[in-house]
Amino acid sequence: MAASEVAELLRAFESSGFARLAMAIGPVRVAASRPLASDTAKEAHPDAVAVNAPVLGMFEPARASDGAPLARRGADVLTGTPIGVIRVLDALHSVTAGIAGTVVAVHAGDGAFVEFGAPLISVVPADAGVRGAP
Amino acid sequence: MSATRPIRRLLVANRGEIAARIIRTCRGLGIETVVTVSEADRDSLPARLADRAVCIGPARATASYLDIGAVVMAAIGTGCDALHPGFGFLSERAELAAACAKAGIIFVGPRAETIRQLGNKIEARALAAAAGVPIVPGDNSVADFARAEAVAREIGMPLLFKAAAGGGGRGMKIVRSEGELRSAFETARAEAQAAFGDGTLYIERLISDARHIEVQILADRHGTVLHLGERDCTLQRRHQKIVEEGPASLVPAPLVARLRQAAVDLARSVGYENAGTVEFIYDQQRQDFFFLEVNTRIQVEHPVTEELTGIDIVAEQLRVAAGAPLTLAQEDVRLCGHVIECRINAEAAEAGFRPAPGRITRWKAPPQDFVRLDTHCHEGYVVPPFYDSMLAKLIVHGADRTEAVARAGAALEAFEIEGVETTLPFLRRLLARPEFASGAVNTRWVEAVVAEPSFFAPLPPARHPAAAEAAS
A114 and A74 within one domain: yes
Q: What is the mean pLDDT of residues B346-363?
A: 97
Which has the minimum average pLDDT: B240-254, B265-279, B360-374, B455-469?
B455-469
A83 and A25 within one domain: no
A66 and A25 within one domain: no
Residues of chain B with pLDDT > 90, as a percent, come to 86
CA–CA separation, A86 vs A93, rounded Å?
5
Question: Residue B276's beta-bridge partner residues?
Answer: B217
- Terminus-to-terminus CA distance in chain B, angstroms? 59
A45 and A24 within one domain: no
- A81-120 as b/e: b if 16+ CB within 10 A: bebbbbbbbeeebebbbbbebbbbbbbbeeebbbbbbbbb
Sequence-distant (6+) residues with CB within 8 A of B129 are: B135
User: Is the CB of A88 less than 8 angstroms away from the CB of B54?
Assistant: no
- pLDDT recorded at residue A26: 76
Read off φ and ψ for residue A124, nearest 5 degrees: -90, 120
Confidence bin at B394 (pLDDT 50/70/90): very high
Q: What is the mean pLDDT of residues B346-366?
A: 97
Residue B405 has pLDDT above 70, yes or no: yes
Could you tell me the residue range of the domain that residue A26 belongs to?
3-33
Q: Is B297 tagged catalytic?
A: yes
Which strands form B159-163's sheet, in the order they lie side by side? B138-142, B201-205, B159-163, B173-175
| Any B CB within 8 A of A55 CB | yes
Residue B402 has pLDDT above 50, yes or no: yes
Number of domains present in the structure of chain A: 2
| Any B CB within 8 A of A6 CB | no
Q: Is residue A68 part of a domain?
A: yes
Which has the minimum average pLDDT: A40-49, B295-304, B379-388, B443-452?
A40-49
Query: Strands B9-12, B32-38: parallel, antiparallel or unpaired by DSSP?
Result: parallel
Among the partner residues A20, A58, A88, nearest to B70 by beta-carbon distance: A88
DSSP notation for B123-180:
HHHHHHHHTT--B-SEEEEE-SHHHHHHHHHHH-SSEEEEETT--TTTT-EEE-SGGG
- The kind and range of the H/E element at A100 are none
Which chain B residue is nearest to residue A111, measuring alpha carbons? B77
Question: Which contacts qualify for B156-159: CB closer than 8 Å, 24 or more apart?
Answer: B156/B205, B158/B205, B158/B206, B158/B208, B159/B203, B159/B204, B159/B205, B159/B206
Confidence bin at B304 (pLDDT 50/70/90): very high
Q: How far is CA B234 from the centre of its chain?
A: 11
Tell me whether the omega of the peptide bond preceding residue A46 falls within 30 degrees of 0, making it cis.
Answer: no
- pLDDT recorded at residue A14: 81
Q: Is residue A134 part of a domain?
A: no
Q: How far is CA A132 from the centre of its chain?
A: 17
Which chain A residue is nearest to residue B72, measuring alpha carbons? A89
A57 and A108 within one domain: yes
Residues of chain B positioned with their CB less than 8 A from the CB of A31: 51
Residue A132 has pLDDT above 50, yes or no: no
Give the CB-side neighbour count of residue A126, counting CA atoms within 13 A: 10
- Say if residues B199 and B230 touch (Cβ distance below 8 Å): no
How do residues B126-138 score in pLDDT, each as one tens digit? 999 999 999 999 9
Torsion of CA B71, B77, B80, B82, to 10 degrees: 30
Q: Hey, what amino acid is at B6?
A: P
Question: Residue B14's beta-bridge partner residues?
Answer: none
CA–CA separation, B401 vs B340, rounded Å?
8
Residues of chain A with pLDDT > 90, as a percent, come to 60
Q: Is residue A14 part of a domain?
A: yes
Among the partner residues B51, B74, B99, nearest to A56 by beta-carbon distance: B74
A62 and A41 within one domain: yes
* Counts for chain B of helices (H) and strands (E), in that order: 16, 23
Instruction: Please identify among residues 62-101 of chain A the ones whose CB lies closer than 8 Å to any CB of chain B.
Output: 88-89, 91
d(CA A31, nearest CA chain B) in Å? 9
Q: What is the mean pLDDT of residues B56-78?
A: 97
DSSP notation for B63-76:
GTTT-HHHHHHHHH
The B-side interface with A (CB below 8 A) comprises 39, 51-52, 54-58, 64, 69-70, 72-74, 77-78, 99, 103
Does the CA dihedral B254-B256-B262-B264 come out positive or negative?
A: negative
Read off φ and ψ for residue B406, nearest 5 degrees: -65, -45
- B59-76 as b/e: b if 16+ CB within 10 A: eebebbbbbbbbbbbbbb
Residues of chain B positioned with their CB less than 8 A from the CB of A116: 39, 55-58, 64, 70
Confidence bin at B468 (pLDDT 50/70/90): very low
Residues of chain B positioned with their CB less than 8 A from the CB of A113: 77-78
Q: Is residue A119 part of a domain?
A: yes
Which chain A residue is nearest to residue B70, measuring alpha carbons? A56
Question: Residue B240's beta-bridge partner residues?
Answer: B237
* B345: nearest Cα among B410, B277, B394, B404: B394
Q: Is residue A133 part of a domain?
A: no
A70 and A22 within one domain: no
| Any B CB within 8 A of A116 CB | yes
Between A118 and A33, residue with greater pLDDT = A118
Residue B347 has pLDDT above 50, yes or no: yes
A111 and A48 within one domain: yes
| Secondary structure letter of residue A26 according to DSSP | T
How do residues B200-249 score in pLDDT, each as one tens digit? 888 999 999 999 999 999 999 999 999 999 999 999 999 899 999 999 99
Which chain A residue is nearest to residue B31, measuring alpha carbons? A24
DSSP notation for A31-83:
EEE---HHHHHHHH-TT-EEEEPSSSEEEEE-B-TTS-BTT-TT-EE-TT-EE
How do residues B147-171 score in pLDDT, each as one tens digit? 999 999 999 999 999 888 766 566 6
| Secondary structure letter of residue B108 according to DSSP | S
Residue B43 has pLDDT above 60, yes or no: yes
- The kind and range of the H/E element at B3 are none
User: Is the CB of A55 less than 8 angstroms away from the CB of B55?
Assistant: no
Between B66 and B470, residue with greater pLDDT = B66
Top-ranked range on mean pLDDT: pick from A35-49, A83-97, B145-159, B458-472: A83-97
Mean pLDDT across chain B, nearest whole number? Answer: 94
User: Is the CB of B58 less than 8 angstroms away from the CB of A116?
Assistant: yes
Choosing from B21, B237, B297, B343, which is the catalytic residue?
A: B297
Residues of chain A positioned with their CB less than 8 A from the CB of B54: 56, 115
Q: What is the mean pLDDT of residues B339-366?
A: 97
Sequence-distant (6+) residues with CB within 8 A of B248 are: B211, B213, B230, B231, B232, B256, B259, B282
Residue B471 has pLDDT above 60, yes or no: no
Which has the minimum average pLDDT: A99-108, B47-56, B157-166, B317-326?
B157-166
How do residues A58-83 score in pLDDT, each as one tens digit? 999 999 999 999 999 999 999 999 99
Among the partner residues A20, A31, A88, nearest to B73 by beta-carbon distance: A88
Residue B276 has pLDDT above 50, yes or no: yes
Which chain B residue is nearest to residue A23, measuring alpha carbons? B51
Going along chain B from its start, the domains and CATH numbers come out as 9-108 (3.40.50.20), 138-205 (3.30.1490.20), 210-471 (3.30.470.20)
Among the partner residues A22, A56, A118, nearest to B73 by beta-carbon distance: A56
CA–CA separation, B412 vs B439, rounded Å?
19
Q: Is B155 left (phi over 0), alpha (psi -120 to 50) or beta?
A: alpha
Which chain B residue is nearest to residue A112, measuring alpha carbons? B77
Q: What is the mean pLDDT of residues A107-121?
A: 96
ipTM for the assembly: 0.84
Residue B80 has pLDDT above 60, yes or no: yes
User: Is the CB of B70 less than 8 angstroms away from the CB of A113?
Assistant: no
A64 and A24 within one domain: no
Which strands form A101-106's sheet, in the order they lie side by side? A49-52, A119-125, A101-106, A76-77
Strand ranges in B272-429 using DSSP code E only, listed in sequence order: 274-283, 288-295, 338-345, 347-348, 354-355, 358-359, 362-364, 371-375, 382-383, 390-398, 416-418
How do residues B333-346 score in pLDDT, each as one tens digit? 999 999 999 999 99
A44 and A78 within one domain: yes
Strand ranges in B220-272 using DSSP code E only, listed in sequence order: 225-237, 240-246
- Best of B52, B55, B100 to disrupt the A interface (most A CBs within 10 Å) is B55
- pLDDT recorded at residue B159: 93
* B224: nearest Cα among B322, B328, B118: B328
| CATH number, residue A106 | 2.40.50.100
Confidence bin at B466 (pLDDT 50/70/90): low
A83 and A52 within one domain: yes
Question: Residue A75's beta-bridge partner residues?
Answer: none
Give the CB-side neighbour count of residue B332, counting CA atoms within 13 A: 8
CA–CA separation, B339 vs B206, rounded Å?
30
User: What SS3 class is residue B251?
Assistant: coil
Residue B434 has pLDDT above 50, yes or no: yes
Neighbouring CB atoms inside 10 A of B111's CB total: 20
CB-based burial of residue B454 (10 Å sphere; 0-12 exposed, 13-18 middle, 19+ buried)? Answer: exposed
d(CA A74, nearest CA chain B) in Å? 29
A51 and A89 within one domain: yes
| Secondary structure letter of residue B365 according to DSSP | P
Q: What is the mean pLDDT of residues B348-354?
A: 95
Read off φ and ψ for residue B91, nearest 5 degrees: -60, -25
Residues of chain B with pLDDT > 70, as a percent, come to 95
